[in-house]
Structure 1
Amino acid sequence: MGENRFPSPFELPTPEGAEGWEELYPYSVLFSEGRRDYEDQQFWFMDSMHWGWAMSPWDADHLMYAIASLSQYNSRHYLVPPANGIDFRVHLGYPYFSPVGIADEAEIGARVPQFMERAGHYFANWDSLYDNWLEKVKANIAELESVDFSPLPEVEPLEIVTSGRGVGTGWDLQAEYHRFQDLAQKIWQYHFEFLNLGYAAYLDFFGFCKQAFPSIPDLAIAKMVAGIEVDLFRPNEELKNLAQKAIDLGVADAFANPDDVDKVHAVLESDAGREWLAAWDEISQPWFNFSSGTGFYYYDKTWLQDRSTPYGFIADYIAKLQAGEDISRPIEEIRAERDRIVEEYSELLASDEDREAFAGKLGLARTVFPYVENHNFYIEHWSMSTFWKKSRELGEMLVKEGFFTQADDVYFVRREEMDNLLFDLYSAWAVGASPAGPHYWPNKVTKRRAIVEALQKSRPPKALGPPPAVVTEPFTIMLWGITTDSIDMWLNPDEGGAITGMAASPGVAEGPARVVFNADDIGDVRDGEILVAPITAPSWAPVFSKIKATVTDIGGLMSHAAIVCREYGVPAVTGTGQATTSIATGDMIRVDGNTGKVTKL
């Protein structure tokens, strides 16, 4: 292996205890000898932003659905001129992506008019198409809710016979499973219908600014589309309202021990307490279908499933409100700063024609921008939490049938294997004999659980293969924050321990670091600390009222962490590649969100 490249996927050793890990995933997503000539020459980066932990087979399905859908909209629907899809593999349980760019200028040129026509239709009809999108997504969620994984009956109901239907409940169960998986894939088709266009419009505006104002900082461009109202912030705003309601109703003391949900509810056994709980219930659908993690793992809990997390946030807000603090988002200041920057740069343009082009591109970027955050609530959180809930119902039914020992075993079966499992269940039921599954699956699931645990303990490299000469794919830069510079930093880390990343949200802050790897640790964050994490989840928004700044390992200017920090007025540096390994909880650090530098003091 040369010094100027990352390891080859074919060289990495299997962690102890994870032997046979390949059987957890379909053949098509593994590195293989048949494609080795291609795979060994490609640059692959690990997407720890969305899938930062080793995946179960059921988790990995969504990686495949998502990235195939992302790619399809780039390459086949809109024909984004410089970019096709993103190739993907699962290696040692982790996701690796390789952007497929287009180098041929003639091909790029030929795609431009097609892109303008197709994307242009969406841009011209954005609001009505978006309203339609919302209806489709909500209908898909309702369909998911309607999936029925009831156990097979002892005897078919009489009406199935007398209606002349011709198929029975054994067929229904298998058909429901197919419908379930089709709806799951549809989630991701809908996800990327708009998202790629949101990035494309922003990138078009970004490119215009870079050309018109060669020295403009990336952050100044990002600030011009800040100050937005989005549905993704609604769950957090509702927690603030519930905190105020607890004070108004005189039940604020109930949240003294928010981790003990039963204790909170015991104190709320009064008329005022019941009124507060009714207010919670009223707002909880849909807004608290909000995952404490990314929403991509079966074990991520929602605020509805585990109230201790939102109750902890409510307790924090109650304390701030009682101390007379303002807990509202500083949206007016952000908008004033936004308007000031727009005016300043607009005046630098040479002609009215240029100013008109600038205003048009900025207007489009602002129109489409809320979607970049909104889809997160409707897809990653509401849709996905419904998917996981239904998966558990399938698991619970298979526990009753003796195939599994616990409902979560369902996540360790591949989706095509589940087809065979359900046919085994059905055919034995039809025959009146014993299925093979109860003697086959419990041992296999136990073994697979142990493999995933062994993979969890290992951290494979953040990239594989030779670095690309130049990174052009828009998602890779905007979302993941992977640029030619950041890759160079991974290959040649600063020996002096200097940490640099993207200047993602303005301002400078100093304070003690709090390193948080997952949602379980978010309750440890104290007022005045600086959050250091691989990436932040949307449901962590309430901690932004406590912290002084944020630093992440991965993420670009359009990552959720960057957007939310700008919207909450918190300085941020994203895409450092090494913050969580270089900084420890308690270290005093200085974060400069204007320059992208993080310094240990």
Structure 2
Amino acid sequence: MFPSAYDLKAPVGAEGWEDLYPYYLKFQPALREKEDQKFWFCDSQHWPNPFKPFDTMTVEFAVKCLGQYNTRHYLVPPANGVDYRIHNGYVYMSPIGVPAEDIEARIPQFMERAGHYFQNWPTLLENWHKKVKANIDEMESISFEKLPAVVPLEWIKDGVGLDNTTALTENYDRMIQLIYRTWQYHFEFLNLGYAAYLDFFGFMKGQFPTIPDQAIAKMVQGHNSDLFRPDDEIKKLARLAVELGIADALKTGSVDAALAAVGAQENGSKWIAAWEAAKDPWFNYTTGNGFYSTDKYWNEHLEIPLGYLRDYIVRVQAGETIERPMDALHAERDRIASEYEEMMSPEAAEAFQGKLGLARTVYPYVEDHNFYIEHWSMGVFWKKMRSLSKLLHEEGFWPTEDGMFYLDRNEVRDVIFDYGNAWATGGDWAGPTYWPDEIERRKRIIDALATQAPQPALNNPPELITEPFTIMLWGITSESIKNWIGGDEDSDDLVGMAASPGAVEGIARVIRSPDQLDEIQQGEILVAPVTAPSWAPVFGKIQATVTDIGGMMSHAAIVCREYGLPAVTGTGSASSRIKTGDKIRVDGNTGKVTILS
């Protein structure tokens, strides 16, 4: 149904792309017979763009650590990890199941290991926050300094016995290890959050085979997620600006000009203090997803949160409610749970309460962790790596400040040694004569890879997709695979996953990059290959969301349910079939999207 990776040619100009990535991330000809038997899907939900060599670290660390918690920590009965490869610059994944004969033996081990976490969730989660914040603090403490003309005299007198290259090398190595730790922490709780929800999901399907997936999801909605705190802080700042009478001072000009205008107001200092308090930590937030060195973070691009703030001020002044409809979400959640419980036997109702209680306890982590890992931790990491790249740029190793990201992490270590080696000998660095041309070659390849959309999948899919994580997170079902191969191009209908209820009609706005978010107009319908959790501030402007990829537990689905917006995910081709300006109907109850005109 889909081509083999071994038959899929590179776009013109991208020949030689294989040189950019480690051998273990590529399809190996010697393994073709085995790897052609697997079904691989492109994870454009998390990695929608071709990788620069340095950025591949994110998929390596993330997917390796995902696998270890399934396979080695908790022994999830039906699921091991996920195999992954990079082909033509994009990542492809193939979940690894557990042989049927081995599943039963893993159950008691999973119950003991995962059960310990479920029974001690609040205490262990509090410890997780301490570990993650300590990790962030250590990354913040690391800096990269240019090599001096001579070792400091004090070091000579104190008998230090080391030179300045020692700290440079150790700090780089430590940063890589700290971000590796970050990804291990990321999955310490995440797979358990999904497992508890899937257990509840399976129980409900067993009790009521025809229950809609949405009804189950809505029973755990309405939680106060830290992932939404940056957006909540901006909303509070907007209301405070209106209350203090300084809103107009914020509406025009640059960030510096706006803040200066506020500071000159009678109540300006109070608002400025609230702005500064919100920045740490809530502006450690990216418009992307944290997986790319090019992601823009609020605290480094204050024009981004200021833009959202200005939109909210206009809406507050118009008398709109900008906060999430928490009371309505809770009422709906409790109504649905109560109605289904009333139809159960006493024994089933008791089990229902236990499983629902656990799901509601652990479910918030499914979104909360994003702020602490993808946003805050990765933001600090990229900031430090950009400072190192800039240092080596200034020393002549590459012509632009971002040159380092065209190297892989091991090549960067070689460059640091080259830098220190010639400094030590008094000779010439080799890097400034080697890397500029090589980086330019690699840049041309990556640019060429980006000109061609990735194949959505490789090889033949199984007759029926049953792996629950694949369905819940990525929205990959037997039906969605049919959508990937085009469906009926003459039809005005697209079919996806009914991810968040409601039906609306409106004008489509197709967005392919976070840099386009300011194009969205009030009342439009957002159509995108995939959305990021950090797009939440624009969800107050739109009527609904449609994506190419994503399941019931994708960020787009969860955010839309939390904001009370209809959503259809996993359509396969909405962002290419629908054009900005089209009038469309989105039915989040049925998963159907119709192009009206």
- Do they superpose with TM above 0.5? yes
Q: Which runs of 4+ in 1 moved over 4 A?
A: none
- What's the CA shift for 1:392? 0.7
TM-score normalised by structure 1 residue count: 0.96
Report the counterpart of residue 23 of structure 2 in structure 1: 27
Which ranges of structure 2 fall in alignment gaps of 5 or more residues?
Answer: none
- What's the CA shift for 1:275? 3.9
Separation in 2, partners of 1:255, 1:6: 53
Three-state SS of the structure 2 residue aligned to 1:298 is coil
- What's the CA shift for 1:584? 0.7
- What's the CA shift for 1:45? 0.7
Task: Summarize deviations over 1:251-271 as a string: whole Å, max 9, x none.
Answer: 21233336x434434533514
Q: Which amino acid aligns with 1:376?
A: N
Q: Which amino acid aligns with 1:556?
A: G
Three-state SS of the structure 1 residue aligned to 2:6 is coil
Q: Is the 8 A contact 1:100 1:473 kept in 2?
A: no
Separation in 2, partners of 1:164, 1:117: 53
Is 2:501 the partner of 1:502? no
Q: Is the 8 A contact 2:557 2:569 kept in 1?
A: yes
Q: Is the 8 A contact 2:17 2:89 kept in 1?
A: yes
Report the counterpart of residue 453 of structure 2 in structure 1: 459
Is 2:141 the partner of 1:146? yes
Is 2:95 the partner of 1:99? yes
Report the counterpart of residue 412 of structure 1 in structure 2: 406
Report the counterpart of residue 48 of structure 2 in structure 1: 52
Deviates more, 1:150-159 or 1:467-476: 467-476
Q: Which amino acid aligns with 1:434?
A: D
Report the counterpart of residue 81 of structure 1 in structure 2: 77
Separation in 2, partners of 1:192, 1:330: 30
Report the counterpart of residue 159 of structure 1 in structure 2: 154
Separation in 1, partners of 2:294, 2:516: 15
TM-score normalised by structure 2 residue count: 0.97
Pick from 217, 225, 232 the counterpart of residue 222 of structure 1.
Answer: 217
Pick from 341, 344, 348 the counterpart of residue 354 of structure 1.
Answer: 348
Separation in 1, partners of 2:483, 2:443: 35
Pick from 441, 444, 447 the counterpart of residue 450 of structure 1.
Answer: 444
Q: Is the 8 A contact 1:255 1:264 kept in 2?
A: yes
Is 2:5 the partner of 1:9? yes
Percent of aligned positions that are identical: 57
Separation in 1, partners of 2:456, 2:27: 16
Report the counterpart of residue 384 of structure 2 in structure 1: 390
Report the counterpart of residue 477 of structure 1 in structure 2: 471
- What's the CA shift for 1:164? 3.3
Separation in 1, partners of 2:103, 2:119: 23
Residues 63-212 of structure 1 mapped to structure 2, 5 A cutoff: 63-102=59-98, 104-212=99-207
Q: Is the 8 A contact 1:293 1:301 kept in 2?
A: yes
- What's the CA shift for 1:485? 2.1
Task: Summarize deviations over 1:400-446 as a string: whole Å, max 9, x none.
Answer: 22112222111111111111111111111111111111111111111
Residues 153-552 of structure 1 mapped to structure 2, 5 A cutoff: 153-257=148-252, 260-271=254-265, 272-350=267-345, 352-491=346-485, 493-495=487-489, 496-552=491-547
Separation in 2, partners of 1:163, 1:42: 61
Separation in 2, partners of 1:250, 1:449: 50
Three-state SS of the structure 2 residue aligned to 1:45 is strand
Separation in 2, partners of 1:454, 1:262: 38
Separation in 1, partners of 2:408, 2:443: 13
Q: Is the 8 A contact 2:550 2:569 kept in 1?
A: yes
Q: Which amino acid aligns with 1:20?
A: G
Three-state SS of the structure 2 residue aligned to 1:398 is helix
Separation in 1, partners of 2:244, 2:411: 53
Task: Summarize deviations over 1:244-297 as a string: whole Å, max 9, x none.
Answer: 122123221233336x43443453351444543332112101101100111111
Separation in 2, partners of 1:458, 1:392: 28
Q: Is the 8 A contact 1:101 1:472 kept in 2?
A: no
Q: Is the 8 A contact 1:590 1:599 kept in 2?
A: yes
Separation in 1, partners of 2:249, 2:315: 16
How many residues are matched? 594
Report the counterpart of residue 37 of structure 1 in structure 2: 33
Separation in 1, partners of 2:482, 2:110: 32
